[in-house]
């Protein structure tokens, strides 16, 4: 596991290091959930729904 030290910016922003962005295929405007587990912050990428996914409300009349 690679370890990086980053600094929080004035507006509370952080930058994910390029090495991690490339490895995890993180693109501009990707969505993440952030979990706070007693001070351990975990970022979880929100996967885009498959294009073939049909919303449930289309099955209900």
Reported as a single tens digit per residue, the pLDDT across 27-48 is 999 999 999 999 999 999 998 7
pLDDT attached to residue 24: 94
| pTM exceeds 0.85 for this model | no
Query: Distance between CA 9 and CA 58 in Å, rounded?
Result: 44
Query: Distance between CA 52 and CA 7 in Å, rounded?
Result: 40
Would you say 43 and 34 are in contact if contact means Cβ atoms under 8 Å apart? yes
Please give the domain boundaries of the chain with CATH numbers for all domains.
Answer: 1-46 (2.10.260.10)
């Amino acid at each position: 596991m690679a370890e990086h030290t980053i600094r929080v910016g004035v507006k509370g922003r952080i930058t994910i290091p390029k090495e991690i962005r490339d490895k995890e295929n993180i693109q501009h405007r990707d969505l993440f959930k952030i979990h706070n587990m007693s001070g351990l912050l975990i970022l979880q990428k929100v996967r885009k729904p498959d294009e073939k996914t049909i919303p449930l409300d289309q099955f209900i009349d």
